Amino acid sequence: MPSRKRILVTGGAGFIGSHLCHRLVEEGSDVICLDNYFTGTKDNVADLMNRINFELMRHDVTFPLFIEVDEIYNLACPASPIHYQYDPVQTTKTSVHGAINMLGLAKRCGAKIFQASTSEVYGDPTVHPQAEDYRGNVNPIGPRGCYDEGKRCAETLFFDYYRQHQLNIRVARIFNTYGPRMRPDDGRVVSNFIVQALQGNPLTIYGDGSQTRSFCYVDDLVEGFIRLMAASDDVTGPINLGNPGEFTIKQLAELVIDMTGANSELVNEQLPEDDPLQRCPDISLAKEKLDWQPTIELEKGLGKTIEYFRSVVH
Ligand code: NAD
Ligand code: UDP
Ligand code: UDP
């Protein structure tokens, strides 16, 4: 019998996945990081390569996988709109076929399995803030559908494997998360604004910047993942994980300019189709079930993220 818990992290070379791998390796688990490097990179986990309890595997979750594990964190899926819309059919396959394969693996191994779902299951929400019982307002045929509906279907699969095959599942609905190791060309708002500011380029505000988002620092999010995985078996989720501090995109741009000391101007570009107008998590359930809430304020988290980007963009 292996002495360490064997944990598979799919999408482990991506932004959030790499932070999770670091945390799990530090805790002493045997970590298998699986990725097809579509948006992730080996650089994100390069410093773990010489650790005895870490291994890296090139694999695409849309294909079956036969290994032996105790826990699975299923994060594989591009998360930035420009990347998930690059090959939308593959995005849906990644969420749906990926979920089926990882659930099949969990079923065969008797492993506990975690799904990285998303606040996008709420679409452009008509209820504010969003609690888990809100069923959402998603456009199934719009450009975000491949991501939103893929993630919704993955949730369905998780709950059917739970009911039909008694799998031990955990479903987290993640709200906008940021931090070091986002790609400079990731395309999401926090990395875009910081990179633009550091390079002295204009900050691109889509629409008039009055739309809102709530930004969670990655370390807080990973703490939520660990608590959800460790919670008692009746805590299946879905459970919101995010920071309820809500900001307009214009406020975020102004904060980034202040904090970087950049001379950049703000320019308005076209608002993408189906871009949600507001988003803010109700985290009452996470507080109650996991005793979890974010501890890192936006300014502090942005400070750490700006410091990271200063070292990678010139
Ligand atoms: P990311 O793009 O940095 O990471 C995704 C990782 O999955 C990458 O390493 C990518 O190469 C890998 N991947 C993609 N398709 C794959 C496939 N078919 N097989 C194997 N690997 C594949 O994004 P992230 O921000 O780290 O997001 C991680 C997870 O969290 C995603 O499932 C995303 O949907 C979810 N999520 C993230 C946020 C956020 O704000 N960051 C919000 C909601 C949900
Ligand atoms: N699967 C996998 N690894 C395993 C077991 C299953 O990748 O160790 C995949 C396999 O491709 C299968 C899917 O998971 O199609 C679903 O498995 P399940 O046992 O639920 O269904 P079935 O094999 O009957 O399709
Ligand atoms: N956004 C922006 N400028 C950018 C990138 C994004 O104004 O350079 C806006 C985008 O239109 C959205 C918000 O910021 O309203 C968050 O976008 P992101 O792609 O980070 O995440 P999501 O829309 O999936 O929440």
Task: Please give the pLDDT value at position 199.
Answer: 97
10 Å Cβ neighbour count for 78? 23
Task: Please give the pLDDT value at position 91.
Answer: 98
CB half-sphere exposure, 42, CA atoms < 13 A: 7
Query: What is the spatial distance between Cα 222 and Cα 49, in angstroms, rounded to a whole number?
Result: 21
Ligand 1 centroid, distance to 261 Cα (angstroms): 31
- Is residue 308 part of the annotated active site? The answer reads no
pTM (2 d.p.)? 0.98
On whether the CB atoms of residues 259 and 300 are closer than 8 A, the answer is no
* Separation of CA 194 from chain center: 19
Ligand 1 site, residue 248, Cβ cutoff 6 A: no
Ligand 2 pocket, CB under 6 A: 64-66, 100-101, 104-105, 107-108
Task: Please give the pLDDT value at position 1.
Answer: 55
Residue with tokens 């079956």: 64
Mean pLDDT by 10 residues, the chain (314 residues): 86 98 98 98 98 98 98 98 97 98 98 98 97 98 98 98 98 98 97 98 98 98 98 97 98 98 97 96 98 98 98 92
Selecting among 73, 84, 122, 147, the annotated active-site residue is 147
Task: Please give the pLDDT value at position 314.
Answer: 84
On whether the CB atoms of residues 246 and 276 are closer than 8 A, the answer is no
* Ligand 3 atom 16: residue of nearest CA: 189
The CA dihedral of 159, 164, 166, 169, to the nearest 10 degrees, is -20
Ligand 3 pocket, CB under 6 A: 80-81, 176, 188-189, 192, 204-206, 211, 213, 249, 271-272, 275
> What does R_g of the chain's alpha carbons equal in angstroms?
19
10 Å Cβ neighbour count for 303? 13
Ligand 1 site, residue 179, Cβ cutoff 6 A: no
Nearest atom in ligand 2 to the alpha carbon of residue 101 is 14
φ and ψ at residue 312, rounded to 5 degrees? -115, -20
* Structural domains in the chain, sorted by start: 6-177+217-243+281-295 (3.40.50.720)
Ligand 3: which of 83, 91, 124, 249 to mutate, most ligand atoms within 8 Å of CB?
A: 249
Nearest atom in ligand 2 to the alpha carbon of residue 65 is 7
Ligand 3 centroid, distance to 84 Cα (angstroms): 13
Query: What is the spatial distance between Cα 295 and Cα 107, in angstroms, rounded to a whole number?
Result: 35
Task: Please give the pLDDT value at position 3.
Answer: 72
Q: Which two tokens stand for residue 57?
A: 């595997």
10 Å Cβ neighbour count for 234? 6
Give 38-60 pLDDT, tens digit per residue: 999 999 999 999 999 999 999 99
Nearest 5°: the CA angle 67, 155, 237 is: 95
Nearest atom in ligand 3 to the alpha carbon of residue 272 is 11
Ligand in closest contact with the CA of 182: 1
E strand segments, 75-168? 112-118
E strand segments, 42-109? 54-58, 71-74
Query: What is the spatial distance between Cα 307 and Cα 303, in angstroms, rounded to a whole number?
Result: 6
Exposure letters 85-96 (e unless 16+ CB within 10 A, then b)? beeeebbbbbbb
